[in-house]
Structure 1
């Protein structure tokens, strides 16, 4: 089935107008101790992307196709999170093995519980993706890093290490977004911030701008002989503001506005921000029948 193209001149114009070039940057410690000290952020994102998508195939289906598994590969998942993606990939590795690595003990424990008792051997490692010193050279047929590379402190070391642990002919899949992915969410968010006279340093793009589909090729090419980009699109559609607001507040920390403590961004501020965003979403639902959030994403396949 052909993939729907959600990109339109109107969305391109909107992106050019509202998406800042500057992106948020967060430390590994912030990711470990705040974002992923439990699984709520991941749980909400995964639920929303599954229930409200319009594509008949999921992003995980797309990842499985990209990995081209035969069933006996040894797979390394960098930033495995709560194991949601691995749960779907595991049946394609009936005679292979899985190694999941993550910096956050809470989500790593959730991944271990999720795959507990499966016949595919699983190993779980607490650590950072830029230090794979516990892993042998040439020990994996596949490695992947999905929506997490922006948290890794040293990308040069990470890619050097991935190259080292991959076997000859092995494949590294790095999945991330375009800078204008989910731009409708950013549109209502930035409009609310502007109406509130919010601090200018809150008007930044997703932290995935550190390595996005726009700039990832040039960052990966020094480490791999071949880097191919396979793009993917989807559109989330909401007819009730409530699930979108969970996605916005919990899944994305108010588009990162509440990711770290800062002066003036308190409970009262965030409550008003949510009210203003919710009103815009409800207005779109009333006038158009749904509120759309367009996902422009994809994977770099590196060999």
Structure 2
């Protein structure tokens, strides 16, 4: 980890993670992600706003990404799953004399990316497509490739990594950013506690979909395709003194820790009203006891070449 970053890990949090984070994780198809999560930008907008307002690490996640990419200003950059171009907007001044290509399979967020970057002098190209099929792109086209918090939605990971290797120039960097399975464990603790109190179905006790390729298990998958795989970690802690911004983060940004990600006949609106009430009560209690409710982020990037 960069020595300038704060370290939020404690023995108590490590013990809590072992107690509450399940080994099973949610899995969602690329169609679900496209048609439900990213048919508009609400989920992305909520996460990005909350992270900016409530973070306590003075070095942002985008700062971490920028440092990893080692940009000189003239690179050709490909962003897989570019979303609403929030990251690209902040990176663009560091590649002002380069080019940007953003690819996403969700038309709604891709339109938002076009609008966000409209008028910039840095040439931008926008492609609707899947990250495991880059056949529209030439060999050795990019100096830098990014895939930030999206790889778990890609249908064929091996095909994606082969394609990245093909389109990346010699000496290039592929940055894949994801979480540890126990990232945001305090949010999962209050969520799982509420589910248990309600006697909710056992299959809802699952971890984030990023478990498909996390900081814990991703290196062997990437090492099949890249000669060098380095891990650069980053931590942050969101702190809330009012429950409502957290509740929006939980409900809209994370679909009740994925419980409302897909239709489920067992879970009606009354279920989610009760779930939110029970989660909110725990958050209010934590704020009353500690002065804030904390959500600790354990995240980072694989840097592949």
What is the rounded CA distance, in whole Å, between the counterparts of 1:262 and 1:211 in structure 2? 25
Counterparts of 1:300 and 1:57, CA distance in 2: 18
Corresponding residue of 1:220: 222
Question: Which residue is 1:249 aligned to?
Answer: 251
Partner of 1:88: 90
Q: Report the equivalent of 2:150.
A: 148
Q: Which one of 133, 137, 145 corresponds to residue 131 of structure 1?
A: 133
Query: How many angstroms apart in 1 are the aligned matches of 2:30 and 2:301?
Result: 23
Aligned length: 303
The SS at the match of 2:280 is helix
In structure 1, list runs of 5 or more residues that go unmatched: none
Q: Deviations over 1:139-183 (max 9, x none)?
A: 000000000000000000000000000001111000000000000
Task: Classify the secondary structure of the residue corresponding to 1:111.
Answer: helix
Pairs within 5 Å for 1:271-286: 271-286=273-288
| Cα shift at 1:264 | 1.5
Alignment match, 2:115: 113
> How far apart in 1 are the matches of 2:186 and 2:134?
38
1:54 matched to which residue of 2?
56
1:207 is matched with which residue?
209
The whole-number CA distance in structure 1 between the counterparts of 2:275 and 2:266 is: 12
Q: Distance in 1 between matches of 2:236 and 2:124?
A: 31
How far, CA to CA, are the matches of 2:6 and 2:169 in structure 1?
A: 35
Question: How far, CA to CA, are the matches of 2:40 and 2:96 in structure 1?
Answer: 29
In the other structure, the counterpart of 1:67 is 69
Paired residue secondary structure (1:256): coil
RMSD: 0.6
Q: Secondary structure in 2 aligned to 1:254? A: coil
Q: In the TM superposition, what is the alpha-carbon distance from 1:186 to its structure 2 partner?
A: 0.1
Other structure's SS at 2:173 match: strand
Other-structure match for 2:196:
194
Q: Which residue of 2 aligns with 1:17?
A: 19
Separation (CA, whole Å) in 2 of partners of 1:198 and 1:34: 23
- Does the CA contact (< 8 Å) of 2:146 and 2:174 recur in 1? yes
Q: How far apart, in 2, do the equivalents of 1:27 and 1:265 lie? A: 20
The aligned counterpart of 1:77 is 79
Partners of 1:219 and 1:144 in 2: CA distance: 16
Q: Paired residue for 2:263?
A: 261
User: The residue matched to 2:177 in structure 1 has which SS?
Assistant: strand
Give, in whole Å, the separation in 1 of the partners of 2:155 and 2:201: 27
Contact preservation (8 Å) 2:143, 2:172: yes
8 Å contact kept, 2:5–2:59:
no
Partner of 1:44: 46
Using the size of structure 1 for normalisation, the TM-score is 0.99
Task: Give the equivalent residue in structure 2 for 1:168.
Answer: 170
The whole-number CA distance in structure 2 between the counterparts of 1:129 and 1:277 is 36
Deviation at 1:266, TM superposition (A): 1.1
Distance 1:92 1:4 in 2: 25
Q: Over residues 173-212 of structure 1, what are the superposed CA-to-partner deviations in whole Å (9 max), with x where a residue is unaligned?
A: 0000000000000000000000000001100000000000
Structure 1 Cα separation of the partners of residues 165 and 4 of structure 2: 33
Gaps of 5+ in 2: none
Helix, strand or coil for the counterpart of 1:232?
A: strand
Q: For 1:258-286, what per-residue CA distance to the aligned partner results, in whole angstroms no more than 9, with x for missing partners?
A: 00111221100000000000000000000
